[in-house]
Amino acid sequence: MNAHSFAVLRLLADGAFHSGEALAQRLDLSRASIWQALQGVEAAGVELYSVRGRGYRLAAPIDWLDGQRIAEAQGASAARFHVELHDEIDSTNTLLMQRAAVGAAHGTVIAAERQTAGRGRLGRRWQGELGGSLMFSLLWRFPFGVAQLSGLSLAVGLAIVQALEQLGVQGAGLKWPNDVLYQGRKLAGVLIEVQGDALGPSCAVIGIGINCRLSAATQATIDQAVTDLAQAGMGAVPRNRLLAAVLGELAVVLARFERDGFAGLLGDWQARHLFHRREVDLLAPSGLRRAVAVLGVDADGALLVDGGAGVETVRVGELSLRAKS
Ligand code: BTN
């Protein structure tokens, strides 16, 4: 996208036709600049209709992130967060990690309409879509050290599912450690990066990506089974309300985590664990894959499994459901 792309998109956001000339006049640009700006928009995956004699129209209107609407939806809890909105940055986690290192405040939130280098767990890329994803990072400062942050990523997954429940989504659940799934497909992911000393204080940059409405073209570029909130029955997804709801649940869950550790959230997490007491394949970082039975999670958020030789504690790995033979 170039410097004018977002300005043009905002004029088109109503979903109506706008002529190239009218757009050029409104933005005090040449028609060639409008055309150029729109090339970038299409390259970013936004579907655009261009009809001779009528102009340009978006295939679907965009519900932009809006600070005032987020604060209204947050109500009293808005005071706990400092929300900063960006059109396009490389990664909200990358920016917030830099800000955290130079003293950004507890509760700082950075959200972006588009990321050019969104990052996922285990070095993967995170693919979002302009207007179709919610992508943000939250800075949370803890009085204790990084050693006490085990279980944090599970706590965050729980907050997301609880926020979705609050908004009427039924059937979303968790896959250890923190993927949010709906009907076996990924709906949201969490990337947590930490800074600080073993003995404290410490802080976490909590990056969250939620698929709201992904086009078939975007879904095709993702190398795992994905779904979105529209398919989970949410219809038009109000992203501002969604952000407010997730932040609200995070505030509650993180306060409990700070007080009681993950132990205080274990029951709520396990009640939403989709693979609880299931037979799964466990992929270790070494690449070794083996069949295990999931027994549960412990008070540190580690996975408890039985691979045939008694109870084992797993701290890193990927799960997938076993295909029935
Ligand atoms: C995963 O499931 O692999 C984690 C995905 C996390 C994606 C979010 S989007 C907002 C934040 N910024 C990033 O670059 N990544 C996280």
Atom of ligand 1 minimally distant from the CA of 90:
14
Q: Which atom of ligand 1 is nearest to the CA of 112?
A: 10
Predicted pLDDT at 74: 97
| pTM, rounded to two decimals | 0.95
Task: Say whether 290 is catalytic.
Answer: no
Per-residue pLDDT tens for 219-265?
Answer: 988 988 999 999 999 878 899 999 999 999 999 999 999 999 999 99
Q: Which residue has the tokens 């690449």?
A: 287
pLDDT given at position 43: 77
Residue closest by Cα to atom 11 of ligand 1 = 207
Place 84 in a pLDDT band, splitting at 50, 70 and 90: very high
Residue 323: burial class (beta carbons within 10 Å; 0-12, 13-18, 19+): exposed
pLDDT at 325 over 60: no
pLDDT band at 61 (very low <50, low <70, confident <90, very high): confident
CB of 189 closer than 6 A to ligand 1?
yes
Residues 210 and 118 sit within 8 Å (Cβ to Cβ): no
Specify the amino acid at residue 50: S
Residue 322 known to be catalytic: yes
Question: Percent of the chain scored above 70 by pLDDT?
Answer: 99
Q: Decide if pLDDT at 25 tops 90.
A: yes
pLDDT of residue 323: 64
Whether the CB of 157 sits within 6 Å of ligand 1: no
**In the structure encoding, which two tokens stand for residue 238, read together?**
């109000």
Give the distance (Å) from ligand 1 centre to CA of residue 67: 21
Ligand 1 pocket, 121 CB below 6 A?
yes
